[in-house]
Amino acid sequence: MTLTSSPAWQALLRHRDSLRQTRVAFDDVARLKTFDIAFDGLRLNYAFQNVSAETLPLLVALAAQQQVPDWRARMFKGDKINATENRAALHTALRRLDDAPVFLDAIDVMPEVRAAQNRISAFVDDVRTGKWTGATGKPFRAIVNIGIGGSDLGPRLAAKALQPYASGFETHFVANADAFDIADVLRKVDPAQTLFVVVSKTFTTQETLLNAHSARRWLVEKLGEGAVERHFVAVSVNRDAVEAFGIHAENMFPMWDWVGGRYSLWSAVGLSVGLAIGNDNFRALLAGAASMDAHFQTAPLVSNMPVVLALLGIWNRNFLGASALAILPYCERLRDLPRYLQQLEMESNGKSVTRGGEATGYATAPVLFGDCGTISQHSFHQCLHQGTDIIPADFIGVATDDLNQPDHHRALLSNMAAQMGALALGRKQAAKPQDVYAGGRPSNLILLDKLDPYRLGMLLALYEHKTFVQSVIWDINAFDQPGVELGKQMAKSLENSHSTDGAGDIMGQFFRMIFP
C-alpha cells in the first residue's frame, strides 16, 4: 500500500472534494477560538486556513497512520533514524534541562554534552569579562563568525533577533565565497579587538576555509603571526587541520555526528551568539527550545503545536496543491528567519526518494520564501493576494513593544492583521475587476508574547519539529542532504582543472566560457 492509496489519505481526498462544495466561512468569529493553540508565550492561530471542524481530525488520523508518535519517540530516544548516514538526530539532547541519560549505542551522551557546555560557558565568561584578550592585551569588542549553511544561518538569525540582549559586542557573519563578504567585514573591525570563530565540522568546507585564510592573512599583516592563537577559535572535529591553521586544540569546541548542521545552533555552533548575549541568555534560548520539545512530546496530536503546523502544511501542499510557502515575520529582528527556514525545511524535506529508496510519487517540501512585513507588502504581496497561484503564508508577530514606540508597533501589527484578513476575506465587489480580491487564501498567525531568548528558542524548535513531522508523513529522511554534494564535487573538479584535459566535455567548455 502506498501513501496516496492509504485509508487516511483517501479520506482526506474525499473531505477536500466535499469542502470545495461550500466556501469556508472565514468571517465566523467562533473560528478564532476554535482554531487556536496557545502554549508558554507562543500562539498558533489557524482560523484563516481552508479547514473545517472535520479537517484536523482527518489529518491527525494521517499522522497516526504514518506513525508520527513512534518516530517522535525514536528521535528523542537516540535511535539512528538518519538511516542513510547511520546516525541519530539528537539535537534535542543539547537543550535538555536535566541530566537524565540519553543513550546512543548504549552510551549516555549527556556527560559529554555537559562537559562541552561547561567549556563553552567558561570561554564565554573569559572573553566577556576581559580575562581572555587579544594579542595586544585589549579586550574583544567584535566577534566574526566564519561558516556557511547551518554554521551561519542559525547563529546569524539568533544574533540579530537577540541584539537587544547583546552588550559591548558587535557580531558579524561571513559565509559567501565572494571576497566582498569577508572584505566588507574586515573593513569595519579593529584587528586588536576582533575574535574569529571558524565553524566547520570537517575544517575542509571550501567557502569557510577560503574566508578563514583571508581573515588569517589580514590579521597576520596587522598584528603578526603570533596573534593567530589569540584571535582564532574553531568549532570542528578535525583537530589536525585546526592545529595546522594555528588554533590550539584547547580552543577547539566539539561538534557531533548526531547533530545535523541545520539543527546545530544549540551546540558550540552557537558560540558566537553566546559570546554576544552571555551565558544566561544563551541558556534561556536552550530552555525555550526544551519547553517546545516537552510540548511536542506530550501534547495530544490534535493540540500539539508542531504537529498541527505540520499537518496544515501537508493539507495545503498535498491536498490543495500549494507549491510555495511565504514566511512573513512582522519584526525587523526576525528578518533572517525566512532564509533560516529555507535551509531547515527545503534541505531537510526537498527530496523525491523515500526512506526505502522509492520515488515518492507525491509532492514534498514547498518552496519557501519571504521577507519582513511591512517591507514585503510593497514587494510580492500583490502575488499573494491576486496571483494565479494560491500561496499559504505564516505571519509571525511579536505582541510586546520592546522599544516603547506605540505608534510604530500599532502600525506594524495593524498591517499584519489587515494582510491576513484581506487574504482570507477578499473583496467580492468593486468598481473595476482589477480591484476584486478572491479571498480564501490561507495563512497562519504565529504570535510571540515577546521576542526574548526563551521565545526565540521555542519558535525555532517549533519549526524544527514541524519539519520532522512532515518528513515522517512523507516517508523521507529529514536529516541527510545528498542533493547538496554533486554541485560541490563538480565545482572542486572544475576549480582544480588547470589543463586542457577534457576540453571537449560540456562542463569544461562551460567553465572556460565563464572563466577563460
Q: Tell me, letter by letter, the H, E, C secondary structure of 176-239.
A: CCCHHHHHHHHCCCCHHHEEEEEECCCCCCHHHHHHHHHHHHHHHHHHCHHHHHHHEEEECCCH
Q: Which residues, in sequence order, are bridge partners of residue 39?
A: 42
**Would 102 be classed as within a structural domain?**
no
Say whether both 420 and 374 belong to one domain: yes
Residue-wise pLDDT for 364-390, tens only, equals 999 999 999 999 999 999 999 999 999
Say whether both 270 and 306 belong to one domain: no
The pLDDT of residue 23 is above 70: yes
Q: Are 424 and 439 in contact (CB under 8 A)?
A: yes
**Using a CB cutoff of 8 Å and minimum separation of 24, what contacts does 238-246 make?**
238/200, 238/201, 238/202, 238/203, 238/204, 241/202, 241/203, 241/204, 242/203, 245/198, 245/203, 245/212, 245/216, 246/216
The pLDDT of residue 514 is above 60: yes
Say whether both 154 and 268 belong to one domain: yes
Peptide bond into 374 cis (omega under 30): yes
Position 499 scores a pLDDT of 46
Boundary-marking domain end, from 277, 301, 336: 277
Helix (H) or strand (E) holding 464: helix 453-474
Position 35 scores a pLDDT of 98
Which residue range is the domain that position 505 belongs to? 483-514
**Would 104 be classed as within a structural domain?**
no
Say whether both 263 and 347 belong to one domain: no
**Would 357 be classed as within a structural domain?**
yes
Say whether both 145 and 246 belong to one domain: yes
3-state secondary structure of 162: coil
- HEC profile of 286-354: HHHHHHHHHHHHHCCHHHCHHHHHHHHHHHHHHHCCCCEEEEEECCHHHCCHHHHHHHHHHHHHCCCEC
Q: Name the pTM for this structure.
A: 0.95
At 439, which amino acid appears?
Answer: G
The pLDDT of residue 362 is above 80: yes
Boundary-marking domain end, from 277, 312, 338: 277
Say whether both 499 and 464 belong to one domain: no
**Would 282 be classed as within a structural domain?**
no
Say whether both 338 and 216 belong to one domain: no
**Would 252 be classed as within a structural domain?**
yes
Say whether both 269 and 358 belong to one domain: no
**Would 369 be classed as within a structural domain?**
yes
Say whether both 273 and 338 belong to one domain: no
pLDDT, averaged across the chain: 94
Helix (H) or strand (E) holding 274: helix 271-277
Residue-wise pLDDT for 299-312, tens only, equals 999 999 999 999 99
3-state secondary structure of 435: helix
Residue-wise pLDDT for 449-478, tens only, equals 999 999 999 999 999 999 999 999 999 999
Say whether both 76 and 174 belong to one domain: no
**Would 130 be classed as within a structural domain?**
yes
Q: What are phi and psi of 412, to 5 degrees?
A: -65, -50
Residue-wise pLDDT for 137-193, tens only, equals 999 999 999 999 999 999 999 999 999 999 889 999 999 999 999 999 999 999 999
Residue-wise pLDDT for 477-511, tens only, equals 999 988 877 777 777 777 676 544 545 577 777 77
**Residue of 480, 464, 497 lying closest to 265 (CA atoms):** 464
Position 168 scores a pLDDT of 85
Q: Which residues are catalytic?
A: 347, 378, 488
CATH number for the domain spanning 77: value is 3.40.50.10490
**Would 94 be classed as within a structural domain?**
no
Give me 316's grid cell. Answer: 495545503
The pLDDT of residue 123 is above 60: yes
What percent of the chain lies above the pLDDT cut of 90? 88
Greatest alpha-carbon span in the chain: 74
Q: How many domains does the chain have?
A: 3
Residue-wise pLDDT for 258-270, tens only, equals 999 999 999 999 9
At 288, which amino acid appears?
Answer: G
The pLDDT of residue 73 is above 70: yes
Say whether both 300 and 438 belong to one domain: yes
Q: Which residues, in sequence order, are bridge partners of residue 324?
A: 367
Position 501 scores a pLDDT of 52
Select the more confidently predicted residue: 306 or 1.
306
Say whether both 294 and 439 belong to one domain: yes
